[in-house]
Amino acid sequence: MRGFHGRTLGALSATGKRACREPFEPLLPGVRFAPFNRLDAMESAVDGETAAVIPEVIQGEGGAIPGDEDYLRSVQSLR
């Protein structure tokens, strides 16, 4: 959520801002979003069907918001 990954089909599918996605729908199915720096939400979003996790280390959509180091390390270990 609150991340921006680009304007291609795949990148827009992973962009949490609905206003950016809507004009280009339908996009890739099955994409889920989790609030930034919330490990509990990320753990709930990741399951055995998850192919990839695409975090932004520093979010730029509302200022320069860095990811918490412990959060980012924990996200790396999710399976």
Q: Does residue 35 or residue 61 have the better pLDDT?
A: 35
Question: Domain for residue 51, yes or no?
Answer: yes
Q: What is the mean pLDDT of the chain?
A: 88
What is Dmax (Cα atoms) for the chain? 36
Question: Domain for residue 61, yes or no?
Answer: yes
Confidence of residue 3 (pLDDT cuts 50, 70, 90): low
Q: Which domain holds residue 38?
A: 9-76
> Residue holding tokens 């950016």?
20
Question: Domain for residue 2, yes or no?
Answer: no
In sequence order, the 6+-apart residues with CB closer than 8 A to the CB of 78 are 42, 43, 46, 53
Question: Domain for residue 1, yes or no?
Answer: no
pTM of the model: 0.78
**In this predicted structure, what is the pLDDT of residue 56?**
84
Q: What is the number of structural domains in the chain?
A: 1
